[in-house]
Amino acid sequence: MTTLPAPQGPGASAADPSSALLEVTDLRVQFATAAGPITPVDGLSFTVAPGETLAVLGESGSGKSVTAQAVMGLLPRPAGRVTGGRIVYDGVDLLTRPAAQVRRLRGPEMAMVFQDPLCSLNPVFRVGAQIGEMFRRHRGASRRQAKAAAVDLMKRVGIPDAAKRVDDYPHQFSGGMRQRVVIAMAIALDPRLLIADEPTTALDVTVQAQIMNLLAGLQQEYGMAMVLITHDLGVVADVADRMLLVYAGRAAETGRIREVYERPAHPYAAGLMASLPGVAGDQERLTPIPGAPPNLAALPSGCPFHPRCPYAVDRCRAERPPLRAVSGAGRAAACHRAEEVLDGG
């Protein structure tokens, strides 16, 4: 089992499991596919403290959405199931609880903004009714109270003319406004944990920034903990405290964003940081990480990153590196050669 490093010093509580709102330990998720079972989440561990924002990064297919679905108890059935590990929310191991109990947490405790906003919205119902439904179902509000609450929420997420637009249908909203509607639904019941899965991917750059600012503002206002899933570190660097970098369903590196950014310990993190415009300076050509993400049906032996890794040695091909503490409080990396990577060797 992987263990996170013991926290030390100020601000270390973010990685202290005892104070965590969400603690995921050694999570494994399996999917049945035509080509046989795959394990897109394979021993993933992380924590989220109350009020903290964790950025979860990784290439397409690394298991970010599947992890979020597992935490929310929303894995597609019967193909997907959790085959190992623990998901502890506020001291309760969700995997040992009946589905009905986990369902009751969704909305008032944990809420999610899904990767595709259209999945969360029904095209044939007015947005006000869809937002208001949260209050009717969970708070027993009347139709009228629910509509008033929906207008109030729409204002909070920055939708102009909310009192009029409450009667519009989803297709009458722009992509950015639709994302605001979805966010309004997610925060309606004042959840303590919000998981936002690629909340800005489908939007253009200026709207991306507006949505990120909105999420950061709401996070402050409500004191929510937030998990921001993204493959674009540039988008979340200003709003997240810590990051979890996922590769092939495992943690490659975790730590404070600034520290990982300045001195990565995992070669995958180093490659990712080098490809960021802010780090690469004014160069037009960025340095992508060579090679392709691994095939989950035929994972490489040892460290799954070794075929793409400039640091790979025989040990990396033979032995899977555990997530282990490296320089600095709350930092950990799953690399046999993390110390050399830290030294920029």
Ligand X SMILES: Nc1ncnc2c1ncn2[C@@H]1O[C@H](COP(=O)(O)OP(=O)(O)OP(=O)(O)O)[C@@H](O)[C@H]1O
Output the smallest distance, CB 137 to Mg ion, in A. Answer: 27
Residue 65 vs 179, nearer CB to Mg ion: 65
Interface with ligand X (CB under 6 A), residue total 17
Considering the rule CB under 6 A, would residue 256 count as an interface residue with ligand X? no
Residue 67 vs 130, nearer CB to ligand X: 67
- Residue 300 interacts, among Mg ion, ligand X, none and using kind-specific CB cut-offs from 5 to 8 Å, with none
Residue 92, strand partner residues: 89
Of 1-9, 61-69, 176-184, 208-216, the segment contacting Mg ion by CB under 5 A is: 61-69
Residue 217 vs 293, nearer CB to ligand X: 293
Window 274-303: residues binding ligand X (CB under 6 A): 296
Considering the rule CB under 6 A, would residue 31 count as an interface residue with ligand X? yes
The rounded distance, in Å, linking the Cα atoms of 179 and 177 is: 5
The rounded distance, in Å, linking the Cα atoms of 183 and 189 is: 11
Window 105-144: residues binding ligand X (CB under 6 A): 115
Window 54-93: residues binding ligand X (CB under 6 A): 58, 60-66, 76, 79-80
User: In degrees rounded to 5, what are phi and psi of residue 6?
Assistant: -70, 135
- Residue 60 interacts, among ligand X, Mg ion, none and using kind-specific CB cut-offs from 5 to 8 Å, with ligand X
Q: Per-residue b/e over 71-101, b at no fewer than 16 CB within 10 Å?
A: bbbebeeeebebebbbbbbeeeebeebeeee
Residue 133 vs 232, nearer CB to Mg ion: 232
Which of 30, 53, 65, 208 lies at the binding interface for Mg ion (CB under 5 A)? 65
Bridging pattern class, strands 110-113 and 22-33: unpaired
Output the smallest distance, CB 215 to ligand X, in A. Answer: 18
Contact 144, 185 (CB under 8 A): no
Interface with Mg ion (CB under 5 A), residue total 2
- Residue 296 interacts, among ligand X, Mg ion, none and using kind-specific CB cut-offs from 5 to 8 Å, with ligand X
Q: How many residues does the chain have?
A: 345
Residue 287, strand partner residues: none
The position carrying tokens 């060797």 is 345
* Closest alpha carbon to 259 in 276, 277, 248, 273: 273
The position carrying tokens 């979340």 is 236
Tokens of 277: 């415009």
Where does this chain bind ligand X (CB under 6 A)? 31, 33, 40, 58, 60-66, 76, 79-80, 115, 231, 296
